[in-house]
Amino acid sequence: MGYANPQITIPYIYTGIDFGAGDKAASFQGPAGMVGKLREVVLPNVTEVFNSVTTEGQIKIGTAGNDDAYALINLGDLAATDTFITSQDDTDGIILDDIPADTQVEVVFVAPTGGTPTGIADVQIVVDWY
């Protein structure tokens, strides 16, 4: 068993994240004793335009001590009907480090800045555990 053959794949789903309303935080933890590998981050359902007048919205995935240890995903400008897939739209957003077993993973949804910040979407974070 190893990363090439994950034992379980879990999508962590956050619905209706309002990036324009300010930063938000969440967390998740994998199955006991299992090491993780971040596979993909997807915004399958953008329902409000994302603007990036000064800075773009981001998703940071990491730990309490390093908020982007596993991913720093830049969202850019998205239309209200777009789908964002990290492996296609921000190919260097996911960092290839393993998520250690029994680690609480912190997720920060970072608001865009400048003008009138907007952006609402569902977010799926997919992790392979082995």
Averaged over 109-124, what is the pLDDT? Answer: 95
C-alpha torsion sign, points 77, 81, 85, 89: negative
Helices (H), 1-130: 86-89
- Bridge partner list, 29: 104
Task: Please indicate, yes or no, if residue 2 is contained in any of the structural domains.
Answer: no
110 within a domain of the structure (yes/no): yes
Strands 58-62 vs 71-74: parallel, antiparallel or unpaired: antiparallel
Which strand ranges, in their side-by-side order, compose the sheet holding 8-18?
A: 8-18, 120-129, 36-48, 84-85
pLDDT tens-digit series, residues 64-109: 999 999 999 999 999 999 999 999 999 999 999 999 999 999 999 9
**Of the candidates 101, 106, 107, the residue with the CA atom closest to the CA atom of residue 129:** 101
Give residue 13's domain range.
8-129
On whether residue 32 sits in a domain, the answer given is yes
Q: Tell me how many domains the chain contains.
A: 1
Q: Is 3 inside any structural domain?
A: no
CATH of the domain at 116: 2.60.120
Mean per-residue pLDDT over the chain, rounded: 95
pLDDT of the residue at 53:
87
* Cβ atoms within 10 Å of 116's Cβ, excluding its own: 8
